[in-house]
Amino acid sequence: MRFALGVIAVAVTAALAPSVGAAPKLPAADRAAIDRTLDAFVPAAIGREHSERAWALTTASMHRGGTRADWRQGLLPVQPFPVIGTSFHGWTLDHVGRDRADVVLLVHLRKGNDLNLGAASFDLAMRKRHGRWLVDSAVVAATFAYHGKILAANDFGPNSSPDPYTKLDGGLHSGLPTGLIYAIPGALIGLVILVPLGIMLVHRRRDRHPVSDARRERVFRTSE
């Protein structure tokens, strides 16, 4: 199952990656440094295991609007997932620049989570600060369900993503009742069709009975 999810993730990444230009490269020492950062960051920030430990592994931009105490309570700008594993070296390099690297990481999730997800893909922006590679942002790119459905970031809506600790019926699909969701567009379609149809039928009826209309008009004038 993990192999299949990995193949799907690689295929999705390859399809979204630019087809022009050589693959970005990163020195071996920098790759090893990023490995060490992610080995500590993923369980702490994404897995929420001693989440305060992720504070020292992130840049100042990740700390805006929060404190280390907030992070200790799990209040940090990273979507939580029940990740498994202790080594997270299987990332791919999407873009590299001066003291920066954008990577894509697939994390596997514990079985039995409420959304029945098998894996999640993260877009991670890494920045080199004072010789250390730190996480500048961590955003969910896609989730992979056991039944084969893939949800990409656009499916989550602006500034939102699914919470694996919230059940499906009360999370992603919460809001209007299902019947009402289908009734609203149905009613609009009905109005679009029925109103012109009704007008057409009225005009046809008048065209079919011109004498009756004229007779009614004479009666009306006589009564006056």
* Domain boundaries along the sequence of the chain: 2-165, 178-223
The class (CATH top level) of 2-165 is alpha beta
Q: Within the chain, what is the greatest distance between any pair of CA atoms?
A: 105
What band does 1 get if pLDDT is binned at 50, 70 and 90? low
* Nearest Cα to Cα of residue 121 among 2, 31, 1, 6: 6
What are the tens digits of pLDDT across the range 59-81? 999 999 999 999 999 999 999 99
CA–CA separation, 17 and 78 (whole Å): 24
pLDDT cut 90: percent of the chain above it: 50
Q: Global pTM?
A: 0.61
Task: Please tell me which residue, 220 or 63, carries the higher pLDDT value.
Answer: 63
pLDDT at 199: 56
Task: Please tell me which residue, 205 or 3, carries the higher pLDDT value.
Answer: 205
Contact at 8 Å (CB) between 71 and 31?
A: no
pLDDT at 23: 73
